[in-house]
Structure formats: C-alpha cells, structure tokens
Amino acid sequence: MPELRKERLDRGVKVRAESIYAISSMKEIMFLIGPGLVLVILLLILPVSLPSFWQRIMALTGVYVLLSIGFGFLASYVGLVSLGGALFVGMGGYISGLLNSVGVPMFLSIPVATIAGALICTLVLLPVLPLRGVYFAIVSFVYPLFAARLIAALGIFGGTDGIAGLDVMPNVYVLLYVMVAVVIVVMFGMSRLVNYEDLGLVLRGVKDNEQAIKASGLNLTWYKAQAVFIAAAMGCFGGAYLTHLYGWVGMSLFATDFSILPLAATVVGGTGTIYGPVIGAMLLVPISEALRPFGTLRIVFYAVILVFFVVFFSEGILDYLKRKYEQFEHWVRV
Amino acid sequence: MTNDDIILRVDNLEKAFGGVKAVDKVSFDLKKGGVLGVIGPNGSGKTTLINLITGFIAKDGGKVFFKDKDISKWQPHKIADFGLARTFQVMRPYATLAAYKNIIPPLYSPRAKRTAKGKLGDRSAVAVDILEEVGFERDARVPYKQAGTLPLGYLKRLELCRCLALDPELIICDEVFSGLSMSEIASMVPLMERLHSAGITLVMVEHRLRELFQITDRAIVLSFGEKIADGSSQEIFENERVKQAYFGGEDSYVTSE
Ligand SMILES: Nc1ncnc2c1ncn2[C@@H]1O[C@H](COP(=O)(O)OP(=O)(O)O)[C@@H](O)[C@H]1O
Ligand SMILES: [Mg+2]
C-alpha cells in the first residue's frame, strides 16, 4: 500500500530569498503562473458570458481597475497618495470628447487623450511633487472639483449639459475586449516595472530612501513626475474610454467616486502589490453597482465593508489568498 | 598655487539649529587630488558641515565652490551630478534586496550614463563589478546577499560603491571607520588609499585619528561648530585649543586604542 503524506503547494519552489524562485518542473512552473493564468482566462471569458446589464458594469469596472492600479502603484511603490482619479478621468474624457466632437475619429482621440491628458495632469501636479506629506493628495483631489465648477460657471465644453453625440464602440464585445486587452497589458507591464525594471528600483528608493536617491545624482521630482505620468495615463485612458462608452462627455467624469474608490479598492485588495488593487476593484465596483437600488443607503453598506476590511482584514484579500494558496496542503504518495 | 588647483572651497559656512550653532563660519579649501581630514568630538558639526556642502540642508550663510563653480544654492542631486559624492553616516540600504541592487539607482543616473559606467551594458553586472572592486567577494556570493543581513563593514563599502558608481571627482566620507573592528579598519585603509591614488579627491570625516593620519597629513578640527585648527597632524596634536576641546587636556585618546 502506498504511503501518503501531506505536502505544501509551495514546497521546494520558493527558496528563502524574496522573489527568487528555483524552478525545476512543469508542476512548479504551473504553481507560479497558475494564479495569473486563472485571472487572464477569467477576463477573457467574462465578456461573452455576462448578461448585458453586467457587461456595462464590467466596462466600468475596467476603468476602476486601471485607476486602482495607478493608485496602488503611486502609494506602494512611489510613496505618493493620489486622490487624482477624477482629475485623470475628467481630463482624458474631455480631451477625447472635444477632439471627437470636431471630427477626430475615436481610435485616434483615445490614444491622444491618454498621452496628452497624462502630460497635462502631470504638469498641473508638478508644483506639489517636491512637497512631502498630504499636499499631493489634497491638490490632486481639489483640481477636478475646481474644473467642474469652472465648466459649469463659464459654460465651456458644453457646460452642464456636456457634449453628446460622440462616437461609441461598434459593439459590446469590441468595447469589452479593448478594456480586457488594456488591463492585461497594464497589469503585467506594471508588475514587471515595479519588480524587475531598474526604474522600479529607483522609484522604490524615492519612496523609502529619498536621501540615497538624491546622493545618487537622481532628481527626485523628475522620477515622481514620471510615476505620476504613468498613473495619469491609465486614468486618462479610462476617462476617454468612458466618453466613448456613453457617447457623451460631461461633468460627471469629474465625480469624486473616481478618486475615492481606488483607495478603497487598494485597502480591500491589499497594498504592496499591483494585483491587490485589481482584485479590490473587481469586487467593489460590482458590489457598489448591485447596491444601487438602495439609493444613498449603499454608501452605508460600502462604509461597513471598508471598516470591516480595515479592522479585521488589514492584510487585504490578495495576501490572504496568496498565503492560503502557497500553504495549501495536499496528499502525495511517498 | 594657482586657483585651478583648488577643487573645493568652503567659505564661511554657517548653520544654526534653534539656538545651537552647529556650524559656525567654517572655511577651508582643498587641492585637487588631496585628502583632507575633518575631525572633532561628537556633536561638533561634522555631519552638518557635509550636509551644507552637499546641499542636503539649507545654509544660513556662506558659500561653497566646487571646480570653480558656486554650488551654494544647488540641489543635492545636481551637486552629485557635478561630481561631488558623499556617504552617509547612518546607512539605509534597500534592506530586503540583494546588495548589488543598491548600486543600480546611481548607475541609472544621468552622470553614470555620461561617464559610461551606466551604459556598459547590463547595470547588474556593472554593479557586481563595482562591489567586487571594494572587496565584496564574488565567489562567496556576498553581492547577492540581502543588504540588511550584511555586517557593518560591508555596508560602509556599499555606501562607497554608491559614490563610485557615479565616477566622482570628490567623495566626502562621513565616518567610514567608526563602528568597525580593527581588522575591518585594517582592510579599509588600503581601499581608501587606492581611491586616492586613482585620482579621487577625498574628504574624510573621522573619529579615528590614527587611521586618518595614515591616509592624509592634513586635517581641520571642529569644536562646537567652529574650526579651531587646520594643518598637519603634527600641528594639530600640538595645538593647545585642540588638546583642550578634543582630547580633554590629555592626549591618550590619540595614541591608545
Ligand atoms: N536636524 C537637526 N536638528 C536640530 N539639531 C541638529 C540637527 N542636526 C544636527 N543637530 C545638532 O547640531 C550639532 C552638530 O551635529 P552633527 O553635525 O551631527 O555633529 P557630528 O557629526 O560632528 O557628530 C549637534 O548639537 C546636533 O544636536
Ligand atoms: Mg556625524
């Protein structure tokens, strides 16, 4: 009779040092790429398997996933707390909408809005980048409020009505797969940047070891600006995408939800990784939409969920799942 | 002596914290290729002086000239970029990362790119080479160990490596010998001599006089932020003010170990 014994899933795979793996078999490779693969497959089959109400929510969730990756990236890897989600979304949305309204096709206006929008966002945030503390959070939060008032008061860019009649994606599958493709590229790209690229290492120093970075002849503000540009580009793409989801651009793109939810998603999903905020956003946005029938009461549910996570589950979902996954025990023959 | 012999000139630097004069009108100059010791008891303003020269804290008064340029108002990264590197007395490496990764950021800098250190292909390989130069044993895989687990001697070398990656013309070292064992110091002295003979100008802030005077014969002495002596080891040991301020009247500290 064969003997059985319990073995952890990560046994022999993870050597002591952080993020150095000794890979020796197919099984071990599967252990490492398995979770990512599951996420990618999920993203690929969701668009064709969701009912149409949820398809639209998936599109919106994608925008929040991008914003949350940006928030988590700035908070965990650069040391900047950004509440600029609404600024990024509004900027990208309006640039793409305005371009589209004068005849620029959306397949051009979206990329232009992504790059130009991120550039403008970075420039307007530049004055607060050298400052330490809460200034960045405050200023990034206030700009969109200011922009919305300005648009309403001056009646520019369509005023309170916004600009309607813009291009929309040809069908819901194009809409969703564009987002899925962008999310996959951004997710793996960002994960690579923070873990393996030299720039990621510099940014980590910007967060944890300002003095060494300065003494290394590196301009702190310049690297913060690059990081803000990256996060802003993701948000601006999200805004431009929303414009062509609705075929309309208006002041609601400056809504504070875009600034706050990424923070909540990062708390729920877990800080210190790129995937934590992704998982957080993929949970929170659908929950928030499902609670919509409760009207303003949903804010209460929302607050309860947040407090629950902060108090009882501060490691975040991702770390919890990761731990369970790596320690998962199964029977093996010896 | 012509003016272009002078690489660093410090002119009446001043800094007060609250009521305490941490650096009080300190002036000196240093020839290209020279080695200057800066000594003084704890709290005499040595680290503050370095911070003022390298732009890490704002000056209350005074000027700094490096390679004939007035760098008094420059930001730290620009000063480093111009070839004036420094180490920190309190080291804070990327503790959880491999030691060599600490050298990647300076190799990523504009200066390293200009001086070719950063573009000799793979930065990781260049980083390991630099670590090896200062005495990290490649075979023992020390460059790949987590920086947080390294003994103090290696951490001090790591600080020097961060400077060397910039290919600097002048390095200001903040107490590279302090806290080290005798054998660690014994291996550090030749390293500093090697840097000197490679043409790098050095400012050595030190507590350890005997080791310091193996490397240089000129030092300035600080006491309560003031420069009280400037000269050869002989002149300094014979200076009455130095004896009082630094050795508390008796010179046993210098000779005993
Ligand atoms: N950031 C600071 N804030 C207030 N006082 C300081 C600060 N840095 C140094 N000091 C004071 O300035 C004096 C000189 O300190 P320091 O330059 O560190 O001396 P040393 O390096 O010679 O030991 C000390 O009295 C110290 O307490
Ligand atoms: Mg000191």
Q: Which residues of B touch A202 (CB under 8 A)?
A: 104-105, 108
| B172 shares contact with chain A (CB less than 8 Å) | no
Q: Answer whether A215 sits within 8 Å of B54, measured CB to CB.
A: yes
Task: Using the mean position of ligand 1's atoms as its centre, give its distance from the Cα of residue B22 in Å.
Answer: 6
Tell me the residue range of the domain where A281 lies. Answer: 4-333
Whether the CB of B135 is below 8 Å from some CB of chain A: the reply is no
Residue B218 three-state SS? strand
Sheet containing B6-17: which strands, arranged edge to edge? Answer: B20-31, B6-17, B61-66, B69-70
Question: How far does residue B248's CA lie from ligand 2's centre (Å)?
Answer: 19
Domain count, chain A: 1
Contacts of B80 (CB under 8 A, 6+ apart): A214, A215, A216, A217, B54, B86, B109, B111, B166, B168
CB-nearest to A215 from B80, B94, B112 is: B80
- Helices A257-269 and A52-72: angle between axes, nearest 10 degrees: 80
A209 touches B: beta carbon within 8 Å: yes
Q: Does ipTM surpass 0.95 in this model?
A: no
Q: Give the separation between CA B250 and CA B22, rounded to whole angstroms.
A: 25
What pTM was estimated for this model as a whole?
0.87
Judge whether A240 and A93 are in contact, CB under 8 Å.
yes
Q: How far is the CA of A69 from the centre of ligand 1 (A)?
A: 41
Whole-number Å distance between alpha carbons of B167 and B117:
7
Residue A35 pLDDT exceeds 80 = no
Whole-angstrom Cα distance, residue A284 to residue A299? 12
Residue-wise pLDDT tens digits, A76-135 = 999 999 999 999 999 999 999 999 999 999 999 999 999 999 999 999 999 999 887 789
| CATH (domain of A152) | 1.10.3470
Is the CB of residue A145 less than 8 Å from the CB of residue A228? no
Within the 180-239 window of chain B, which residues sit less than 8 Å (CB to CB) from chain A?
none
Residue B253's pLDDT is what? Answer: 47
Quote the pLDDT of residue A233.
97
Q: Model confidence over B84-100: pLDDT tens digits?
A: 999 999 888 888 888 89
Could you tell me the residue ranges of all domains in chain B? 1-83+169-257, 95-168
**pLDDT (tens digit per residue) in B133-173:** 888 887 778 888 888 888 888 899 999 999 999 999 999 99
Looking at residue A24, what is its pLDDT?
Answer: 58
Query: For residue B48, which atom of ligand 1 is closest to its CA?
Result: 17
Residue among B56, B102, B111 minimizing CB distance to A217: B111
**Ligand 1-lining residues (CB < 6 angstroms):** B 17, 20, 22, 40, 42-48
Reduced DSSP (H G I as helix, E B as strand, rest coil) percent helix, strand, coil of chain B, to 5: 40, 25, 35
Token match 């520019």: residue? A156
Is 2.60.40.3080 the CATH classification of the domain at B1-83+169-257? no
